[in-house]
């Protein structure tokens, strides 16, 4: 039994398997795919001058890779690594982009600014942990 | 892109401002734990976001013109209290956004986008909690360091040395004599490197009192009573570094040490 809702499956175009410690997204690389964890777990990691830091662990139903989309970032803001064997779904980003365009510019801006807060909060948390 | 438009130039396409608000430096705009649905856009000035926990105020972020505050409650559903406080860091001008219109637009947002944004929101809340916890830990550590005599001792002039010594714990009925190497010494204390094996003969706890006996390179005897103030495990496992602050030192030894430390 999977904890992933039907809503999510409606957007899954393809599925990919990764083995333990495989890198799904590399920080700083280009790419605009948005993923969802279908089975297993992934770790979010960020590079710092003092080494790599694990920021968060995502589980079934959790979306990742969305920052590029929400913030119109050019490169990936963090790495995502398989935490044990994991099955991920690649979401229909064209459909999401179309839907995103249908949202009022105003609400879009509020959302983008919230995503920016997450990015800034992450940077701050890392600085505190490593400082 | 930051919109610098003012209320006057806004077209009907954009959300009309319900009001312009002015805050003086230091004013609280949003209070953590309160209930409220207003969302504000900063027009002028800087606003600080912070949380308060266990008497420690943790600064989360500083926001400026074009940025928005109060949207967290909006995304979490207005039945939830404010997750952080917002305070004017300087004289500020804010524009209250139209919550009803935003709510309507949010309600019409495609469900999958809402699903993603909801996760985004939860991650911020989690990240802010991490920041708060780390900050409290850091504050505690700073307070502890201020009380720690070792920190004080480090302020004295320290001479780097390298000679053997023996030391024994005084606050225990156990009769143990251990060996170590003094690596630096000052008027207030010394650093003692020991092998990890010493730990198996006696548990070295902060606050333990030891008598340390050694011969200075000059041939003079040094005998001091010192308190264990810090214990640092080196990355290579061995040796361990003990920070000792003197608690009893005879006048003669003090003098001997004084001469020894003269440049």
Complex ipTM: 0.92
Please give the residue of chain B at the shortest CA–CA distance from A128.
B134
Q: How far apart are CA B140 and CA B138, in angstroms?
A: 5
Q: How many CB atoms lie within 10 A of CB A117?
A: 24
How many angstroms separate the CA atoms of B217 and B254, rounded? 16
pLDDT, mean of residues A66-75: 85
* CA–CA–CA angle B126, B131, B137 (5° rounding): 125
B23 forms beta bridges with B92
Mean pLDDT of all residues in chain A? 91
The pLDDT value recorded for residue B13 is 47
User: Given CB atoms, is A129 within the 8 Å cutoff of chain B?
Assistant: yes
Judge: A121–B124 Cβ closer than 8 Å, yes or no.
Answer: yes
Residues of B with CB below 8 A from A66's CB? 116, 119-120
Residues 6+ apart with CB under 8 A from B33: B81, B82
Q: Can you give the pLDDT at residue B7?
A: 43
pLDDT exceeds 60 at position A1: no
**Is B117 close to A11, i.e. CB distance below 8 A?**
no
Residues B130 and B135: their CA atoms lie apart, in Å, by 8
Alpha-carbon distance B99 to nearest alpha carbon in chain A (angstroms)? 11
Q: Residue B124 has which token pair?
A: 């911020």
pLDDT beneath 50: ranges in chain B: 1-13, 15, 17
- pLDDT confidence of residue B237: 61
Q: What is the pLDDT of residue B223?
A: 92
Decide: pTM greater than 0.90: no
CB contact under 8 A, B116 and A106: no
pLDDT tens sequence across A8-34: 999 999 999 999 999 999 999 999 899
């Amino acid at each position: 039994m999977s904890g992933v809702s039907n809503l999510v499956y409606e957007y899954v175009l393809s599925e990919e398997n990764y083995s333990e410690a495989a890198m799904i997204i590399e920080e700083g690389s280009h790419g605009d795919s948005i993923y969802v964890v279908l089975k297993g777990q992934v770790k979010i990691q960020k590079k710092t001058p003092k080494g790599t830091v694990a920021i968060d662990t995502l589980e079934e139903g959790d979306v990742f890779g969305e920052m590029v989309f929400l913030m119109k970032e050019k490169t990936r803001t963090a790495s995502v690594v398989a935490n044990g064997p994991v099955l991920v779904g690649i979401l229909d980003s064209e459909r999401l982009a179309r839907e995103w365009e249908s949202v009022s510019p105003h609400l879009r801006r509020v959302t983008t600014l919230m995503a920016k807060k997450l990015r800034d909060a992450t940077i701050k948390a890392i600085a505190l942990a490593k400082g | 892109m930051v919109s610098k438009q003012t209320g006057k130039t806004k077209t009907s396409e954009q959300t009309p401002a319900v009001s312009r608000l002015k805050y003086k430096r230091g004013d609280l705009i949003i209070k953590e734990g309160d209930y409220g649905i207003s969302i504000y856009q900063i027009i002028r000035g800087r606003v600080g976001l912070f949380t308060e926990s266990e008497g420690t105020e943790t600064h989360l972020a500083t926001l400026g013109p074009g940025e928005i505050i109060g949207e967290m409650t909006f995304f979490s559903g207005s039945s939830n209290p404010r997750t952080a406080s917002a305070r004017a860091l300087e004289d500020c001008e804010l524009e209250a956004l139209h919550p009803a219109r935003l709510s309507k637009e949010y309600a019409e947002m495609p469900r999958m986008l809402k699903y993603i944004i909801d996760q985004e929101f939860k991650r911020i809340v989690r990240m802010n909690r991490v920041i708060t916890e780390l900050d409290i830990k850091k504050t505690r550590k700073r307070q502890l360091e201020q009380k720690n005599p070792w920190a004080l001792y480090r302020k004295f002039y320290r001479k780097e040395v390298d000679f053997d010594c023996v030391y024994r714990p005084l606050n225990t009925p156990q009769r143990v004599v251990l060996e170590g190497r003094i690596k630096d010494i000052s008027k207030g204390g010394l650093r003692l490197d020991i092998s990890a094996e010493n730990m198996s003969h006696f548990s070295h706890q902060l606050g333990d009192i030891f008598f340390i006996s050694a011969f200075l390179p000059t041939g003079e005897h040094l005998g001091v009573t010192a308190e264990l103030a810090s214990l640092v495990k080196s990355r290579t496992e061995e040796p361990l570094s003990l920070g000792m602050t003197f608690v009893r030192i005879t006048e003669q030894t003090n003098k001997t040490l004084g001469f020894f430390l003269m440049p």
